[in-house]
């Protein structure tokens, strides 16, 4: 892969303290999203808080932003995006807000500047749906939820 070819994503800081997403390592797929808040936000067990990042992005047509959990935050503190994977469409220009859920048993506090999720820019395939009376056969067929073994 040619690392000199990059897609440029325009980003707008909506707040002075907002941080531009950055990768934790040269080969990381995700760019860390950071909390941009005026005060600490406490998230009680089994509760969700919408946490602003202070940024808006211009994602090119044909791509979307996928907001994933940061594995260390999920593993060590039980914090993850409430919808598991958030989707930022290419036509959205508002602030990126991450709905952070506390899966743990103790309250957790998010501070301004904390890395709360990661953003991965991904292509998608636009499709149209066509209603059909029958679908093509496969070896698996309609088997789901463990039908292929463990």
The two most distant CA atoms of the chain are separated, in Å, by 56
Structural domains of the chain, with CATH: 10-123 (2.70.40.10)
pLDDT higher for 149 or 74? 74
pLDDT tens digits for range 43-58: 999 999 999 999 999 9
* pLDDT confidence of residue 142: 84
Conformation bin of residue 62: beta by default, left when phi > 0, alpha when psi is -120 to 50: left
Distances 104 to 19, 38, 79 between C-alpha atoms, Å: 27, 24, 7
Nearest to 33 by CA among 148, 90, 113, 109: 113
Taking the C-alpha atoms of residue 114 and residue 36, their distance in angstroms, rounded to an integer, is 8
């Amino acid at each position: 892969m040619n690392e000199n070819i990059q897609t440029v994503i325009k980003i707008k800081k909506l707040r002075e303290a907002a941080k531009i997403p950055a990768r934790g390592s040269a080969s990381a797929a995700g760019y860390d999203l950071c909390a941009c808040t005026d005060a600490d936000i406490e998230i009680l067990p089994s509760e969700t808080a919408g946490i602003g990042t202070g940024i808006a992005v211009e994602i090119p047509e044909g791509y979307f932003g996928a907001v994933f959990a940061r594995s260390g935050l999920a593993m060590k503190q039980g914090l993850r995006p409430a919808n598991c994977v958030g989707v930022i469409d290419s036509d959205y220009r508002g602030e990126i807000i991450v709905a952070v859920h506390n899966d743990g048993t103790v309250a957790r506090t998010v501070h301004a500047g904390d890395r709360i999720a990661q953003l991965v820019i991904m292509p998608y395939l636009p499709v149209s749906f066509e209603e059909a009376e029958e679908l093509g056969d496969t070896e698996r067929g309609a088997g789901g939820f463990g039908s292929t073994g463990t």
